[in-house]
Structure 1
Amino acid sequence: MAQGRDATSAFAWPLRLRPSLALVANGVLLLACLGAALAVIATSHLTREEYARLQALEREQQQLQTEWGQLLLEEGAWSSPSRIERLASERLEMRLPAIDEVEVVRP
C-alpha cells in the first residue's frame, strides 16, 4: 500500500494526528485575538505619547502667548508719541517750527 500512494498523500497528516476543523478554527481565532490585543496595546501606547506631546505643545503655546503679550506692551511703551517727541527734542535737538517758519508748497 505504501507504493500505491500518490504525491499528495505522502505529505498528508496521518489520520490519528490530523487536526479537526474546529481545532484549526480555534487556533486561527486565538491568533486573531492575540493580534487584536497587540494592536490595542500599541495604539494605546501611541495615544498616550501623542497626548503627552499635545500637552507639551499647549504649554509652549501658552508661554508664547504670554511672551507675545509682553512684547506688545513693550512695543506700546517704546512707541508712545510722548516718548518719541521727548527723544526727538533731547537727542536730535528737534523742535516744532514757528508759524512764520512754515512754508506751504503747492504744485
Structure 2
Amino acid sequence: MAFMSVTIKVVDSQHPEIIIVIQKAPIGSNLHKVMTLGHQQYPEKFSFKVVEYEELGSYVTCINGVCEQKPIHWMIYGSNDELLPKGIDNTTPKNGDTYTWKYEYAAASACDQTS
C-alpha cells in the first residue's frame, strides 16, 4: 500500500495556530479519513466532531473543543487558500497537500444546507 503526507492547519482567533502533518495516510483516502488519522497521531493537538447529513455527508461542527456558533463556522481551505467546493467526505487529498480550517463568519448561503 502506498502512503501520502498531508498537512492540516487550524486557525481561530482565540488560540495559537496548530499545524499537524499526517504521515502514512493511505493514498486515495478522503479528507475525513485523513483527519481521523490526524486525531489518532496527535490526540493532544487535534480533535473534531461532525454531524452526518444523508445528502451532504460529514459536516465539521467542532475542532479542538471550539464549536460553531452561527454565523461563525469552521470553513476549510485548500492548498491554494480557496474555500473547498466539496465537504470532507468528497475531498481526496494528494501527497503534500495542505488544508486550513478557519473559524470565521460564513455568509448564510455558504451554510444554508446545514441549518
> If each structure's strand is expressed as a fraction of its own residues, which one has the higher value?
2
TM-score with structure 2 setting the length: 0.14
Higher RCO (Cα < 8 Å, 6 or more apart): 2
Of Structure 1 and Structure 2, the greater helix share is in: 1
Larger radius of gyration: 1
TM-score, normalising length: structure 1: 0.15
